[in-house]
Copies of this chain bind each other. A is one copy, B any other.
Amino acid sequence: MSACVLYHFAFDPGSRAARLALGEAKLAFTETPVRPWEDGCPVADLNPSGMPPVLKVEEAGRTLTLCEPAAILGWLEDRSAEPFLLPADAADRAETRRLVGWFDRRFTDEVNAVLLHERMEKPLLRLGAPEARALRAGRESLRAHLTMLEHILAARDALSGRRMGQADIVAAAHLSVLDYFGEVTWATWPGVKTWYMKLKSRPSFRPLLTDRFPGVAAAAWYADLDF
């Protein structure tokens, strides 16, 4: 048995991926919400990047400090006797790893760095009102990524291959933050919607649906399982 504490920020996609993966592993953990942009954030002493998620695990008399989603998802995979969120098949594993990297870099750079900057970071850091031009550019990028996901999900049930895995967890973590802010027009992407509906109905997703962002109400359908 191990005692786990997760340091996370509720609207950080990487933190959400860690919470979803821990939920899927049915591993009990204590949540320590952090605000990484504030002085004295405990994550500054745990992770050289200063960013959540960080999972501290007390196990067999020592403390493991797992920094960043890759270390947390990797550790969960390592401790499982069977393939857990990485599929068994070599081609599915390659595709899962490719897509996890895609969200870490391409989606983060092209969508989050624009759209979440305007909708989330600006109010948090008091950087002023969102700019219409940036919002338009971020939404256009999001549409391109959703088109790609729709195309993938027309050919198979899950991003990670035959069944839900790391790529689905990571993609859903990203989309769920944007969904809170009402940025995902689900009706346009029926395949992505069906896929997301299935993920959203999983017990691991429930805690995310109760997150609230200060000063911004969730989209009307955010916590609705039949949206």
Q: Does A217 contact B (CB under 8 A)?
A: no
Residue-wise, chain A 65-104 has the 8 Å CB interface mask toward B (1 for contact) of: 1111011001100100000000000110111011011101
Q: Is the CB of B48 within 8 A of A66?
A: no
Contact of A98 among B68, B93, B95, B102 (CB under 8 A): B68
Residues of B within 8 A of A71 (CB): 93-95, 97-98, 101
Which residues of A (100-144) have their CB < 8 Å from a CB of B? 100-102, 104-106
4 cross-chain pairs, A with B, having the tightest CB-CB distances, nearest first = A71-B94, A70-B97, A71-B97, A67-B98
Q: Is the CB of B106 within 8 A of A94?
A: no
A74 engages B94 (CB within 8 Å): yes
What CA separation (Å) do A67 and B98 show in the bound complex?
A: 6
Number of copies: 2
* A197 CB within 8 Å of chain B: no
Chain A count of residues within 8 A CB distance of the other chain: 28
Q: How far is the CB of A128 from chain B (nearest CB, A)?
A: 24
20 CB-based A-B contacts, threshold 8 Å: A47-B98, A48-B102, A49-B102, A62-B91, A64-B94, A65-B91, A66-B94, A67-B94, A67-B98, A70-B100, A71-B93, A71-B94, A71-B95, A71-B97, A71-B98, A74-B93, A75-B93, A78-B90, A101-B104, A104-B105
**Residues of B with C-beta under 8 A to A93:** 71, 74-75, 78
**Does residue A148 face the partner (Cβ distance < 8 Å to B)?**
yes
Q: How far is the CA of A105 from the CA of B49 in the complex (A)?
A: 11
